[in-house]
Amino acid sequence: MKKIAGLILMVIFMASCETEEKNPLLTEYDTPFGIPPFNEIENAHFMPAFEEGIKQQEEKIDAIVNNPEAANFENTIAALDYSGMMLNRVNSVFYNFLSSNTSDEIQDIAQEVAPMMSAHGDNISLNMELFNRIKEVYEQRETLSLTEEQAMLLKETYEGFVRNGAALPEEKQERFREINKELSLLTLEFGQHVLADVNSWKMFVEDEADLAGLPQNVKDAAAEAAAEEGKEGQWLFTLQNPSVMPFLTYADNRELRQKMNHAYINRGNMDNENNNQEIINKLIDLRIERANLLGFDSYAEFALDNRMARTVDNVSSLLNEIWDAALPIANEEAGMLQEQIDADGHDFDLAYWDWRYYAEKVRKEKYDVDEAEIRQYFEINNVRDGIFMVVNKLWGLEFTQREDVPVYHPEATAWEVKEADGTHIGILYMDMHPRASKRGGAWMSSYRKQHIDEDGKYIHPIITVVCNFTPPTGNQPALLSFDEMTTFFHEFGHALHGLLANTHYYGLSGTSVPRDFVELPSQIMENWAKHPDVLKQFAVHYETGEVIPDELIEKIMESSNFNQGFATVEFIASGLLDMDYHTLTTYEPFDVMEFEEEVKNRYNMMDEIYFRHGSTHFQHIFSGGYSAGYYSYIWAGVLDADAFEAFVETGDLFHQETAQRFREVILEKGGTKDAMEMYVDFRGQEPDIEPLLKQRGLVR
Is the torsion defined by CA of 32, 36, 41, 44 positive or negative?
A: positive
Helix axes 352-367, 550-559, angle to 10 degrees: 140
Q: How far apart are the first and last CA of the chain?
A: 92
Task: Find out whether 71 and 134 touch, Cβ atoms under 8 Å.
Answer: yes
b/e sequence 217-253, b meaning 16+ C-beta within 10 Å: bbbbbbbebbeeeebeebbbbbbbbbbbbbbbbbbeb
Task: Find out whether 382 and 540 touch, Cβ atoms under 8 Å.
Answer: yes
The whole-angstrom separation of Cα 493 and Cα 519 is: 9
Q: Annotated catalytic residue: which of 333, 360, 484, 491?
A: 491
DSSP letters of 596-657? HHHHHHHTT--TT---SS-GGG-HHHHTSS-TTTTTHHHHHHHHHHHHHHHHHTTT-TT-HH
Task: Find out whether 379 and 478 touch, Cβ atoms under 8 Å.
Answer: yes
The whole-angstrom separation of Cα 543 and Cα 547 is: 11
Tell me whether strands 443-448 and 235-237 are parallel, antiparallel or unpaired: unpaired
What's the one-letter identity of residue 569? V
- The strand pairing partners of 431, in sequence order, are 466
The whole-angstrom separation of Cα 442 and Cα 540 is: 24
Give alpha helix (H) positions in 413-519: 482-499
The whole-angstrom separation of Cα 560 and Cα 558 is: 6
Is 677 assigned a catalytic role?
A: no
The whole-angstrom separation of Cα 125 and Cα 139 is: 18
Give how far Cα 396 sits from Cα of 361, 486, 490, 650, Å. 42, 21, 19, 19
Q: Residues 6 or more apart from 399 whose CB is under 8 A from it?
A: 388, 391, 415, 416, 417, 418, 428
Largest Cα–Cα distance in the chain?
Answer: 97
The whole-angstrom separation of Cα 215 and Cα 209 is: 13
| The length of the chain, given as a count of residues | 700
Active site residues: 491
